[in-house]
Amino acid sequence: MTGANSIGEGVGRVETRFADISLPSEGFRLECGRSLRQLRIAYETYGRLSPQKDNVVFVCHALSGDAHAAGHHGDPERTRGWWDAMIGPGRGIDTDHYHVICANILGGCKGTTGPSSINSDTGRPYGSSFPPITVWDIGEAHRLLLSHLGINRLAAVIGGSFGGMQVLEWAIRRPDMVSRAVCIASAPRLSAQALAFDVVGRDAITSDPEWRGGDYYDAGRGPVLGLALARKIGHITYLSQEMMERKFGRERMAAPPCGNFSTNFQVESYLDHQGDKFLERFDANSYLYITKAMDEFDIVERYGSLEKAFSMARARMLVAAVSSDWLFPPEQSSLLANAMLRAGRSVAYCVLQAPHGHDAFLVDVSRLSDVIRAFLPWVGVPADHQIGSDRTDRPEFQIIASMIKPGSRVLDLGCGDGELLSFLRKRGAADTMGVDIDIDSVIAVIDRGHDVFQADIDAGLAAMPDRSYDYAVLSETLPLLRRPRFVLSEMLRVAREGIISFPNTGSWRHRAAFLFSGRVPVPRGRIAEAWYDSGILHSFSWADFVDLCRRDGIKIVQTVCLPTCAAGRLLLGMGRQNLGAEHILVRVTK
């Protein structure tokens, strides 16, 4: 239950609740074929549930998280929820709008049924008799909780890391329940390297003689050395190299090391501390069961391909990666987003610049909050209001709109804040997608409700399948590219037609100015003018452009020239485009 609601204070004091799910006589059936006779789920909620129950955001926690995502349990200093900075009034997941639910996962040890729970059949902890679980089982348990709470539709499901995997399963397997899905710093399946770290972590636990095959609850301290070791390995992978260097470097502790082969490096004492802290709050068997579920999670294996999987989904998707995350690297998020795109999903993809590594989604949420806030629907605001204001004062926009047939799919390469896309949407474009390298632009485009991909156009559009758009637009962007020829060819691979808007360096003004001043012409645009910091890497004339089109077999279907003076109009009237046009818009195809 939400507590104090004052801005800046978060959701205040909260408490964890426990739901004993009523099960059919066969119990809670797991993917492995076995069943659990009881199912208890620990959960917390924040923000008010709307009367229509249409404002629920379900938050999926990561490997070692729990139901306590926001607020505090009495002591605001020591018992903050793990995502308190993200969830609350005015925060990324705004509890003034949303009713947020977070629940401990199946197999966990923080109140939801897991290997350390008492098996009522025996009156003793499950231990090694706990059945293997999957990400799907985890989601199903949570679905039963929602049912129990009378909720059957989610405005959004959101999670990072292992939580992101749960989000993916929700979107794929329960398409009718999920409107929006946010998958942060996650992957369709673990990389070989991440698998390897998990393998070694589990090894450390099962090699510990105190593990006793999993039945250690009644005997001693349990595999504390092994569990601490596993956690230390994990913690190395959660931080980027840069962050570890910044935090610890080779600083040493004042106290001398206690063992022969200990060091007094701060990083050693940090890891020791993390290992010890973990022992207080986590169960070794839970660690084994959950990491195994994570390792076995594989969308490709389960559904045949990512594309097949996401063709089952219906939610709008947001995929966010962290630049310095090497455990779930951005390439994996990009794979996800690309497959969603190919499956015809509506998707926004961005890469948050943060030095923290994988942990960034927990510890550096300010930018991520902006992204999530922009992506979540505005509760109570009509959807088409979200597309943004219409500026009709740019003649280029009008011309581009006139080149595009209503109902078409439009891709804007170098889309900036999405103003053109919003304009085209108003003029009848059905699907709108932007690509830009800048995160602020990407957030603005998400906020306007378009699909968007954060990417460097010069690196190509390998993500996008052939002919996936009717039109691709390069508005004022071509001169800024390092590889204009390559990008043109990519543009005409992914779209049926290309629309390119560029200043014509060959106009009589530029020629005359160059002749008399000897200064190489830098066309005016939205950019500065000096040759050395205009941002322009390729300045070209209409004749140069035509030449490239001829060499590469690009057909120019339509040309619109913008003169800015009487002389220009006269020259255009004489058919002298290269002399008369100050600015040119062309529609091309291949």
Residues marked active site are found at 161, 325, 358
Q: What distance in Å separates the CA atoms of residue 340 and residue 337, rounded to the nearest whole number?
A: 5
452, 341 contact by CB (below 8 A):
no
Query: In this structure, what token pair is assigned to residue 411?
Result: 């891709």
Min dist CB 184 to its own copies, Å, is: 20
Minimum CB separation of residue 503 from its own copies in Å reads: 11
* Min separation Cβ 447 and its own copies, Å: 31
**Residue 36 near residue 131, CB atoms below 8 Å:** yes
For 4, other C-beta atoms within 10 Å of its C-beta total 11
- By beta-carbon proximity to its own copies, the closer residue of 311 and 489 is 489
Instruction: Residue 322: name the closest of 359, 370, 294 by CA.
Output: 359
The torsion angles phi and psi of 159, rounded to 5 degrees, stand at: -165, 155
Nearest to its own copies of 41, 461 (CB atom): 461
Q: How far is the CB of 271 from its own copies (least distance, A)?
A: 6
Nearer to its own copies, 108 or 329 (CB): 329
Return d(Cα 483, Cα 427) in angstroms, integer.
Answer: 31
HEC per residue, 147-193: HHCCCCCECEEEEECHHHHHHHHHHHHCCCCECEEEEECCCCECCHH
Least Å from the CB of residue 242 to its own copies: 9
Rg of the chain over Cα atoms, rounded to whole angstroms, equals 28
Output 296 or 431, the one with its CB closest to its own copies: 296
Minimum distance from residue 350 beta carbon to its own copies (Å): 22
Contact 230, 202 (CB under 8 A): yes
Give the nearest distance from C-beta 60 to its own copies in angstroms: 22
505 sits in which H/E element? none
Residues near 514 by Cβ (< 8 Å), separated by ≥ 6? 520, 521
Retrieve residue 220's tokens: 């001693």
- End-to-end alpha-carbon separation of the chain, Å? 60
Nearer to its own copies, 197 or 397 (CB): 197
Half-sphere exposure of 61 (CA within 13 A, CB side): 29
Specify which residues 474 forms β-bridges with: 500
Q: Is 411:483 a contact under the CB 8 Å cutoff? A: no
Closest distance between its own copies and the C-beta of residue 310, in Å? 19
Q: Which is nearer to its own copies, 87 or 457 (CB)?
A: 457
What is the residue-wise DSSP string for 271-333?
A: HHHHHHHHHHH--HHHHHHHHHHHHH-BHHHHHSSHHHHHHT--SEEEEEEETT-SSS-HHHH
